[in-house]
Structure 1
């Protein structure tokens, strides 16, 4: 039922291949296909612990369908150390974000829909999946070659193309738990029980969740433009499960239960069937806040200095309340009159009510550093 294989995703200059574990859980019972990966960014290790708990649960409660689990998805990023810190968010050669190198081109979706407008749904799904697979094969076979990061991304993306559900597990710098939610799946997203939620449209920006849902959502929109309603047949989510460089097995079990709860109940409003009929995953509900992607705002440091972070992730903050205190220790020893014009510290605040999601990991910042990201104009999910 549980099998593990190694997949080569990169190659060192010495010719040594870097591999990742690919774990499949398949009890031979027909059902949906699920793909879950973790640790694409080197410092974001918490998702591996979540996969550990998921595998334990799946061993006890075999699901229908097929679940593919990929921990340690990016050995290049995981091994990218600088002293005691794991960097690993960007390819050190190109500077590109590892999670912005997936591929999708929707230029000919309208032509595809015009050809398949009268086809049955099974035919449409199979033909469209074949089309997406052909796109990736063509990209991987580019005679001019590909950057390192895109080699990795496309090999991971190929693993996910047959899935009905794709979950990409990440963390932030110093972060609360938050979820990127395609708007069509808002109802199903509640089952994750993640407190902060960011609602997204159908545009593709290079991330795995978008590479998953954008093609199918744009396909649904194109059919609707010709007067035929078809569902969005695939779900894709990015789950941000706390802070980077942190490993918390207790928190991981909580988030694994949230994922299992989503997997168990998602079929009630989606075109795939259930994975289980018996288990009831017990979760402790939390308030669910949301905002539109355009209202997920960054706050940048107005000056350089050393920062005392005052506002905590996930805790609502009123307009004008202290967000952070910016210290200017270069002014130590200055006269009283000098400190009046250029104080030793200043309190920073936001111009509107917000819920902090994450903040910069370092206390030493330049002018223009992205100090916080916050939800604004929030509403219940």
Structure 2
């Protein structure tokens, strides 16, 4: 394993942060997988999972069993990791700009599509390499105007040529779940099985500009644009993996997640050895626009009636909102059936605050629904 340091644009002459990446194997082998953790810097279960995966990869490397290129970025957001307010970590939004750290990544398809028409041909492998070179050149031409933009640039320079990209996050209180893109459902299902996802939500572009979309989305969009003219293979499959809740930074869970990721890397052929048999899919894959978001209809004390992972039927009560002054209770019910895969850590809510989400199989009118 070797370590690389990627300096970020400095905010002032006295300080400089850097992105640090750990590299196993060599380019040109059995493919490339990129894994990063804690892009939302206060979401730490993925950081511990990569710590334990690193220990497994060190052993595999010593045995000569790393067949492809594996890149780990255990701290994907050194900017957010330093942000605290009154001892509380505040790693989701950049204090300097107010931006969500997992938004506004550059649109690589848009940046390169105009130049591709004259160079693509009938060879899918030629086209894949051409697109990856064009992506790298476009990223290197970028002139970041902020430290945050330089972080996005550094991450994509490491990940743009990966066959598979995993962005490890967590939610407030949750079971393991993942987000991906519909064109890659077949490639994502083994991942969902190995990590034990209790919800897998897929969409063909949410418009969020997130890191995983920046990596995976250009390929199916370019394939659509050049359909019937040039074959564009699937150059990168990307997913956001939510490893339970923020407080679940625990060795047993992290070892379990690391073993699952190791098995997935074996399944992809990047590590020698027979991978464990594919586990059962715990819950069916569902559309992202079938996810129901329930919000507080009024202010009050929040009492959840179910834990994350519970199966919820349509019209079933999920939350009580209690007014301690009047003594009244409002009942929040689900308008769909599915798994409640996350809930908020807030226990006294203002009106309109997000409470929990249910992964339904049926797309909802308008996508996100407020239910009371």
TM-score grouping bracket, smaller chain normalisation: 0.7 to 0.9
Gap regions ≥5 residues in structure 2: 364-372
Give the match for residue 87 of structure 1.
Answer: 90
2:53 and 2:231 map into 1 onto residues whose CA distance is 35
| CA gap 1:214/1:203 in 2 versus in 1, 3 angstroms | farther
1:97 and 1:28 map into 2 onto residues whose CA distance is 32
Contact 1:290/1:375, CA 8 A, preserved across alignment: no
Contact 1:202/1:217, CA 8 A, preserved across alignment: no
Report the TM-score when normalising by structure 2: 0.87
Gap regions ≥5 residues in structure 1: 267-273, 332-342
The alignment status of 1:209 with 2:212, answered yes or no, reads yes
1:19 Cα deviation from its structure 2 partner: 2.4
1:303 and 1:204 map into 2 onto residues whose CA distance is 30
What is the SS of the residue equivalent to 1:330? coil
Give the match for residue 16 of structure 2.
Answer: 17
Q: CA offsets per residue over residues 132-188 of structure 1, 9 Å max, x none?
A: 12322233x2xxx52432221121111112211111100111122111122222122
2:129 and 2:229 map into 1 onto residues whose CA distance is 21
Contact 1:43/1:245, CA 8 A, preserved across alignment: no
2:156 and 2:111 map into 1 onto residues whose CA distance is 20
What is the SS of the residue equivalent to 1:36? strand
Give the match for residue 170 of structure 1.
Answer: 169
The alignment status of 1:363 with 2:347, answered yes or no, reads yes
1:147 and 1:167 map into 2 onto residues whose CA distance is 25
Select the structure of larger CA radius of gyration. Answer: 1
Contact 1:41/1:88, CA 8 A, preserved across alignment: yes
1:108 and 1:284 map into 2 onto residues whose CA distance is 40
1:53 Cα deviation from its structure 2 partner: 1.9
| CA gap 1:184/1:258 in 2 versus in 1, 3 angstroms | farther
The alignment status of 1:244 with 2:239, answered yes or no, reads no
2:134 and 2:317 map into 1 onto residues whose CA distance is 52
What is the SS of the residue equivalent to 1:209? helix
1:200 Cα deviation from its structure 2 partner: 1.7
Contact 1:202/1:218, CA 8 A, preserved across alignment: no
2:149 and 2:81 map into 1 onto residues whose CA distance is 16
Aligned residues: 355
In the alignment, which of 287, 302, 313 is matched to residue 282 of structure 2?
A: 287
Note the 1:65-214 alignment, pairs <5 A: 65-107=68-110, 111-112=114-115, 114-139=117-142, 141=143, 146-192=145-191, 193=193, 194-202=197-205, 205-214=208-217
What is the SS of the residue equivalent to 1:47? helix
Contact 2:127/2:232, CA 8 A, preserved across alignment: no
Report the TM-score when normalising by structure 1: 0.85
RMSD: 2.4
What is the SS of the residue equivalent to 1:68? strand
1:95 Cα deviation from its structure 2 partner: 1.4
Give the match for residue 257 of structure 2.
Answer: 255
1:44 Cα deviation from its structure 2 partner: 0.5
